[in-house]
Structure 1
Amino acid sequence: MDDKHMQIGEVAARTELSLRTIRHYEETGLVTPSARSQGGFRLYTETDVARLMVIRRMKPLGFTLDQMRDLLDATDRLDTDGQLDAAEHEALLDRVREYERAATEQVEKLRTQLARAEDFAATLGARLDRNIPAARP
């Protein structure tokens, strides 16, 4: 990935996360700025942005900060290219597979909730259409 550094404002705009949220994720250890400017400003790379996007995508699915940390740890370790023995590699893949299963399950639940909400809105719209008097000349 690109080594270009971005300040927190640009990262916030790209990830659609608030500055406060990004700082919170830093405080909880989910993401660490890749560098600091001479003035002490946080500097992020594309890799940091990708990490924040994983967190952003997990949040609405109900994953906890600990689960986010666990998944990020597993994927970080899988990215160490050849430094894992076969058993550790497979165990990490199993962890990632479990998160994938949990995410898929939650997406299905959300689809069901959305369908019910859309049905409800349509029912209300139909009721209003039946009860709005026609315009008089």
Structure 2
Amino acid sequence: MQIGQVATRAQLSIRTVRHYDDVGLVTPSVRSAGGFRLYTEADVDRLLVVRRMKPLGFTLAEMKNLLAALDTLDDTKSSVSERKTAVQCLRECRAKTGESAERLRQQLAYAEELAGLLAERAEVSVRTGRR
């Protein structure tokens, strides 16, 4: 797939996909004879992992570490020690994801409270003729 198709599928901008390539996060599997980036389904899957991590506050280094851990677990030639290290990385990322999700739930609750308050105030204002 070309970068535009990948960006659309991953719901990212082309610029973002290029940036992730430039920083070594998700590199295209192949380049065409003309130098165009060509991506596989596995590359798209990697981009989706990154897309999910970004709003949760993961750093680029943490993203690279998680992708490397996933690669290690997918590699049947990985040693037991490498696999244990990879699993530990997954556990740490899962814990951070849980903490981030809890913060987001709290922010959503605050947003919903505010939306309710504003709707209520607007309704009262309409009923009483106050502006």
Q: Which of residues 104, 108, 116 in structure 2 aligns to 1:114?
A: 108
How does the TM-score come out when normalised to structure 2? 0.93
Which runs of 4 or more aligned residues in structure 1 lie more than 3 Å from their structure 2 counterparts after TM superposition?
none
**Aligned residue number for residue 22 of structure 1:** 17
Ranked by relative contact order (alpha carbons within 8 Å, sequence separation 6 or more), the top structure is 1
Aligned residues: 129
3-state SS of paired residue (1:48):
helix
Question: Please, which runs of 5 or more residues in structure 1 have no aligned partner?
Answer: 1-5
Kindly indicate whether residue 121 of structure 2 is the aligned counterpart of residue 127 of structure 1. yes
**Aligned residue number for residue 3 of structure 1:** none
Of Structure 1 and Structure 2, the greater helix share is in 2
Question: 1:86 is matched by which residue type in structure 2?
Answer: V
How does the TM-score come out when normalised to structure 1? 0.89
Kindly indicate whether residue 49 of structure 2 is the aligned counterpart of residue 54 of structure 1. yes
Q: Which of residues 11, 30, 38 in structure 1 aligns to 2:6?
A: 11
Q: Which of residues 90, 97, 100 in structure 1 aligns to 2:84?
A: 90
Give how far 1:134 is off: 7.0
Question: Please, which runs of 5 or more residues in structure 2 have no aligned partner?
Answer: none
Report the RMSD for the aligned CA atoms in angstroms. 1.3
